[in-house]
């Protein structure tokens, strides 16, 4: 009999327990061992819960039990989760986590601690919920030189943007609906301001490029300023507006991780068709060209599925999986600044007379791709050219109301 402990009995933690007992026979058959959840760590009591008798309030109880070999961390946040997870690893217990903030901020340290104690620290559930993306990156796609990853990494913002697109709802109304349906928290800042997607792109960047990328190194802009007019202009250009988390290796070898709203063309990108609370991650590699991973990015049982998948994998391992790791970084000199960012740009403007957009584009050395009475798209250019174009429009009496990059395939 091998024992499992669950840290945190909220949405995800209770989902882990529920799914484990629902599929216990299948999980035991898969791992070829008898398993049980011995402890559930939480500050609260659960007298009416069928597993309330497993609840403990002191992490030391779990640390002191030599029969507990595997821990599911579902607490969220960095403190006290970091110290609890580190202590478990140091006690020779493998940990699986759904905690994206913990992995984004402390993943390099915890991976090293796991290696030193010949256990594993897995985190499939930290990015994309039920979507398998972490394991494929370091196993199935390991023969590829991966140059870029981009995706829709936050279901709440994707739901809001879909409602703005399909139902012509204003941002505030779409957000209120997301909160009513339980897709957005009372304080939605982590979602709508891009913090959640930032943590996830940090994890993907660190894994793909093998050096820890911290959240403060990522250019992050959320969807709070996206208006219904922006979404409608994008639609007229054959695009959807999506919050895109991306990282790309540049020609000089540096990487550029970003989170920002982008126009995604319907004809050239499958990401434009990802709607609702679903997530999708596109990966570019020299062997695969590109491939996309799609599914539910959050939720009680989808996330629990990923956590238990990691636990099952950890049970099968005899030592640390060294392919799922990255090095600490003392500085961020391997991360490029936004000055290196290039992309086509969509400008929403005040009304503009025919020919003015093209005239300004020619004057600043930009190439015009599409125009409308209240906006245009210019071809891929640098940040500097994008700013010069906007300034030149102002000199022609055309005010720029919004500027949004366009995702290139």
Check residue 339 and give its pLDDT.
96
The model's pTM is: 0.96
Fold match between domain 2-128+301-316 and domain 341-405: no
Q: Which of 63, 217, 220, 250 minimizes the C-alpha distance to 153?
A: 220
Q: Say if residue 215 is preceded by a cis peptide, omega within 30 of 0.
A: no
Residue pair 188/179 in contact by the 8 Å Cβ criterion: yes
Catalytic annotation present for 200: yes
pLDDT tens per residue, range 28-79? 999 999 999 999 999 999 999 999 999 999 999 999 999 999 999 999 999 9
Q: Where are the domains of the chain?
A: 2-128+301-316, 135-295, 341-405
Contact 237, 346 (CB under 8 A): yes
Q: Which CATH architecture has domain 341-405?
A: 2-Layer Sandwich (3.30)
Closest to 350 measured CA to CA, from 400, 402, 405, 403? 400
Phi-psi region of 274 (alpha: psi -120 to 50; beta: other; left: phi over 0): beta
The mean pLDDT value for 198-225 works out to 97
| Contact between residue 4 and residue 317 where contact means Cβ atoms under 8 Å apart | no
- Mean pLDDT of the chain, nearest integer: 96
Say if residue 137's pLDDT is above 90: yes
Give the active site residue among 100, 200, 242, 248.
200
Under CATH, what is the fold of the domain 2-128+301-316?
Rossmann fold (3.40.50)
How, if at all, do strands 239-249 and 121-122 pair? unpaired
167: left (phi over 0), alpha (psi -120 to 50) or beta: alpha
- Rounded percentage of the chain residues whose pLDDT exceeds 70: 100
Per-residue pLDDT band at 130 (split at 50, 70, 90): confident
Q: Which residue has the tokens 């090095």?
A: 327
CA distance 310 to 304: 10
Residue 129 has pLDDT above 90, yes or no: no
Specify the pLDDT at position 298: 82
As a whole number of Å, the CA-based R_g of the chain is 23
Question: Taking the domain 135-295, which CATH number applies?
Answer: 3.30.360.10
At 86-102, the pLDDT tens digits run 999 999 999 999 999 99
């Amino acid at each position: 009999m091998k024992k499992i402990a669950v840290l945190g009995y909220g949405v995800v933690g209770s989902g882990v327990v529920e799914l484990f007992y629902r599929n216990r026979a299948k999980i035991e058959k898969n791992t070829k061992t008898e398993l049980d959840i011995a402890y559930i760590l939480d500050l609260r009591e659960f007298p009416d819960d069928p597993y309330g008798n497993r609840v403990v309030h002191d992490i030391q109880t779990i640390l002191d039990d030599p029969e507990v070999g595997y821990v599911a961390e579902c607490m969220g946040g960095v403190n006290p989760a970091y110290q609890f997870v580190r202590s478990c690893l140091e006690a020779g217990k493998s940990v699986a986590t759904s905690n994206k903030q913990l992995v984004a901020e402390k993943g390099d340290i915890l991976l090293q601690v796991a290696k030193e104690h010949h256990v594993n620290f897995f985190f499939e559930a930290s990015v994309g919920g039920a979507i398998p993306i972490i394991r494929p990156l370091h196993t199935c796609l390991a023969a590829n030189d991966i140059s870029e990853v981009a995706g829709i990494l936050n279901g709440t913002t994707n739901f809001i943007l879909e409602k703005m697109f399909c139902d012509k709802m204003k941002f505030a109304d779409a957000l209120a609906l997301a909160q009513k349906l339980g897709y957005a928290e009372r304080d939605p800042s982590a979602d709508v301001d891009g913090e959640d997607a930032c943590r996830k792109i940090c994890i993907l960047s660190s894994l793909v490029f093998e050096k820890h990328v911290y959240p403060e190194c990522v250019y992050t802009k959320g969807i709070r300023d996206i208006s219904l007019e922006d979404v409608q202009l994008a639609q007229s250009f054959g695009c959807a507006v999506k919050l895109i988390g991306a990282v790309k290796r540049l020609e000089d070898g540096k990487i550029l991780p970003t989170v920002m709203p982008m126009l995604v063309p319907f004809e050239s990108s499958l990401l434009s068709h990802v709607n609702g609370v679903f997530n999708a991650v596109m990966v570019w590699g020299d062997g695969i060209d590109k491939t996309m991973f799609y599914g539910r990015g959050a939720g009680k049982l989808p996330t629990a599925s990923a956590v238990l998948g990691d636990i099952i994998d950890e049970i099968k391992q005899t030592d640390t999986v060294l392919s799922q790791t990255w090095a600490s970084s003392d500085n961020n000199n391997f991360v490029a600044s936004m000055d290196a960012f290039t992309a086509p740009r969509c400008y929403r403007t005040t009304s503009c007379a025919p020919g003015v957009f093209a005239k300004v584009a020619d004057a600043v050395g930009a190439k015009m791709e599409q125009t409308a009475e209240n906006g245009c798209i210019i071809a891929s250019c640098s940040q500097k050219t994008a700013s010069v174009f906007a300034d030149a429009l102002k000199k022609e009496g055309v005010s720029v109301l919004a500027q949004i990059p366009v995702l290139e395939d």
